[in-house]
Amino acid sequence: MPSPSVDLTRRFLNPKYADLHVRCGEKSFHIHRAVVCSASEVLAMEVDNNIIEANMRVIEHTRFDAATMDKMFQYLYRGDYTFDPADSMATIVPGDDTAIKALSLLSIDENASNEAVHRLASHVRVHAAAGHYELEDLEQLAVAKFSLERERFEPLSSRDLIAIVVVVDDHPSNAATELRREALGTALSNRKKYLASPEFLRSLLEQHELRAFASSFFEGVTSYHESELDNVVQDFSSEIHKLQRELHDVSCEKNAAYLDSKAHSSDVKSLWTIEKAELQRELVLSRTSRDIDLKEKEECHERVVRGLNSEKVKLKSELVAAQSRNDTLQARQLLHNATIASLERQKEILQTSGNASAENYQKMHQVVDQLVELNRSSQCRHCGYDFIYELERWGETGYLARCVVCRTRHFAGPNDGCI
């Protein structure tokens, strides 16, 4: 079941149940007299005296703009008011001199600075409407919202602050005390910024409507400066007294230290003699220990050098042996290459002669293919060294290659592998 406030809001938005039609500029409000007139006697009298269409209960309102009346009606129905996203500065009507004065101070566009002016000025106008219709709770709510928006947008630019001050000062003086205090508080809390703005100071001095605010502002600044000066003087006085006490304490400590040093000078000399002798002994021991360490390091270095030299000789001899073995293997490889070349020539001779039988030719062809395939191997698949091999007969028509290093047998063709 919806709450009473939700139900009232639905009725406020639904003209079907309304019994009062308020025209405000280009916007109309369909509301209920039982809700709005019971909350404000002034509004009730205005409704009774200004009905222009008795059968429809229609009144024409020109004192406040539509956006302000919209927020006031929101409050009467819901106890609060918010900003409609579609609401803009265009809701100002020709009779709203306060807003026109504020807007004449700056160029209106869609930026954050003018958003601050718009929202703060809206709360001021709601406060004015609440004062006119004697809605004290709405007045307090408008002041509270004005304060929150002010804190949100602080620090305001000089032009924005002046625009807000103009709007507030055009408010009836007996009802806008709190709003003036809020605007003055904003100016004083950021006084250093505004005092450094030539535009702000020129506006205060030249614009007649800002004279009251200028007087309060400069009085507040003077009061702040006097208070700050008193604090500075008090801080300096406290610091001087503190330094005087510290100077007195230091003087007393100095005299006491002098008497102590004079009374114990002989003890100091004795201690210095003892410490000097002890330092000399430690120096001698340190030098001896250092010499021993250096000697041990030199002996260790010599042992390492001798070991490296012997290792170097050993590696040289192994390198010479490896080179000799490599030369031998290369010579054998050349010999085998010559053998294979001879066999290939014999193969060609046999192929061209045509005298051998087909069976012998096939056998020779297989032998040559085996030898060629064996010769293609560059490394032994067992030991990994360069493949230098010796040929051996295998069966009636085949050969195998035996690695001269690891003696592993290598086969060609289907029997390819190592044993």
Q: Which domains, from first to last, does the chain contain?
A: 4-218 (3.30.710.10), 299-419 (no CATH)
Backbone torsions φ then ψ of 152, nearest 5 degrees: -65, -40
Rounded to whole angstroms, the Cα distance separating 202 from 200 reads 6
User: How far apart are the C-alpha atoms of 330 and 209, rounded to whole Å?
Assistant: 113
pLDDT for the residue 108 = 35
Instruction: From 181, 73, 175, select the one nearest 131 (Cα to Cα).
Output: 175
Tokens 């001896």 sit on residue: 288
Angle at 146 between CA 142 and CA 147, to 5 degrees: 120
What pLDDT is recorded for position 56?
59
Q: What is the pLDDT along the chain (419 residues), one digit of tens a residue?
A: 445 555 555 555 566 677 788 888 888 888 888 888 888 888 888 887 766 655 557 888 888 888 888 889 888 888 888 876 543 323 333 344 444 444 444 333 334 457 777 888 888 888 888 888 889 899 889 888 888 887 777 776 767 777 777 777 776 655 567 767 766 666 666 666 666 667 667 766 666 666 666 666 667 667 666 666 666 667 776 777 787 788 778 778 877 777 776 666 666 677 778 888 888 888 888 888 888 888 888 888 888 888 888 888 888 888 888 888 888 888 888 887 888 888 888 777 877 776 656 777 777 777 888 888 888 888 898 898 888 888 888 777 678 888 988 989 888 765 554 44
Buried b (16+ CB within 10 A) or exposed e, 241-261: eeeeeeeeeeeeeeeeeeeee
Phi, psi of 27 (to 5 degrees): -115, 145
Residue 220 makes CB contacts below 8 A (sequence gap 6+) with 184, 187, 188, 191
- Which pLDDT does position 299 carry in this prediction? 85
Which pLDDT score, from 0 to 100, does residue 87 have?
38
In terms of Cα–Cα distance, which of 230, 238, 223 is closest to 188? 223
